[in-house]
Homo-oligomer: A and B are copies of this chain.
């Protein structure tokens, strides 16, 4: 049996997984992300973490088919990133640097894309060849699998679904420079923004308080039948479904997976999205499923490992 590693590099911690090349997870752990000094320790830290685990498990280099790494940035061919604000990286040849450090083949991907691949492989979309994962976190990320392969695009921007245009006439600018992007309404930040707007003009009873208008507070109140929360959730879901309707006719997935921090709201979130989505289904796609992602924080290490197996496995 051969081995591979899946490494998910986030702004706070680096998650690592050791896998058999048939996909079973042997061990997983995490280390802090040291972003100081332009993040120059990140790659040596990954090298050390991988090598220490190999020593601990008595694994030799020739038994490791590769190391998959996902990062919070678009990834160009040859595993190059241009700039990764969350890691304090500028231009970095991630694949080349880590291969030189480890002397093991490396594959690099975008984190949201890797998460989608992980979910398609071992999570909520297991066995599906056409799938879209929507990650509702601080921003809105996404990963698209079509014909069983990740859509990473010609410049590494494939699946950046947080920037689908969903509202005309928006005056507030998105971080990307455009106006009316899905991320402005459907991320945790976006939901909180909608909550603040609605709260200002609300003059009836509500369980929500100005002190906590977070996405989490909104969904907690929604579950207790709060009317203000219902208004906010309705608006949020409207934008999300608008983006999903565009994705439906562009990609036509068998399943939409909802993940990220906001998805911790659970099945009520799927219910509200489902109702809106079905109200306006095109053509014959009424079978498109909507479901929660299931791998949580481990989706990235699974997806990164799968990239290695697809590229270097037997």
- Write the residues of chain A forming the contact surface with B, with a CB cutoff of 8 angstroms: 74, 82, 128-130, 144, 146-147, 149-161, 163-169, 176-178, 242, 245-254, 280, 282-285, 287-288
Q: Are B250 and A161 in contact (CB under 8 A)?
A: yes
Q: A78 → chain B, closest Cβ, in Å?
A: 15
Choice from B150, B165, B253 contacting A245 with Cβ under 8 Å: B165
Q: Are A251 and B250 in contact (CB under 8 A)?
A: yes
Closest to A161 in B: B250
Q: How far is the CA of A252 from the CA of B144 in the complex (A)?
A: 12
Closest to A287 in B: B155
Q: How far is the CA of A153 from the CA of B253 in the complex (A)?
A: 6
Q: Are B154 and A253 in contact (CB under 8 A)?
A: yes
Closest to A153 in B: B252
In the complex with contacts A164-B246, A283-B176, A252-B156 CB distance below 8 A: yes
Instruction: Give the number of copies in the complex.
Output: 2
Q: Are A282 and B155 in contact (CB under 8 A)?
A: no
Q: A255 → chain B, closest Cβ, in Å?
A: 8
Choice from B147, B155, B246 contacting A246 with Cβ under 8 Å: B246
Q: A277 → chain B, closest Cβ, in Å?
A: 13
Q: Are B165 and A242 in contact (CB under 8 A)?
A: yes
In the complex with contacts A147-B149, A246-B165, A251-B250, A155-B284 CB distance below 8 A: yes
Q: Are B159 and A250 in contact (CB under 8 A)?
A: yes
Q: Are A158 and B250 in contact (CB under 8 A)?
A: yes
Closest to A151 in B: B146
Closest to A152 in B: B252
Choice from B146, B155, B159, B245 contacting A158 with Cβ under 8 Å: B146
Q: Are B285 and A157 in contact (CB under 8 A)?
A: yes
Contacts of A149 in B (CB 8 A): 146-147, 149
19 contacts between A and B (CB under 8 A): A128-B154, A130-B153, A146-B146, A146-B149, A146-B151, A146-B158, A154-B288, A155-B254, A155-B283, A157-B248, A157-B252, A159-B250, A160-B249, A161-B249, A163-B282, A168-B169, A176-B282, A246-B250, A250-B251
Choice from B157, B166, B249, B254 contacting A249 with Cβ under 8 Å: B157
Contacts of A247 in B (CB 8 A): 250
Q: A117 → chain B, closest Cβ, in Å?
A: 13
Given contacts A146-B158, A154-B254, A176-B283, 17 further A-B contacts (CB under 8 A): A82-B284, A130-B158, A146-B147, A147-B147, A147-B151, A153-B251, A155-B284, A157-B248, A157-B283, A160-B249, A160-B283, A161-B249, A163-B249, A165-B245, A168-B168, A246-B246, A247-B250
Contacts of A250 in B (CB 8 A): 144, 151, 158-161, 164, 246-247, 250-251
In the complex with contacts A82-B284, A164-B246, A242-B165, A151-B74 CB distance below 8 A: no
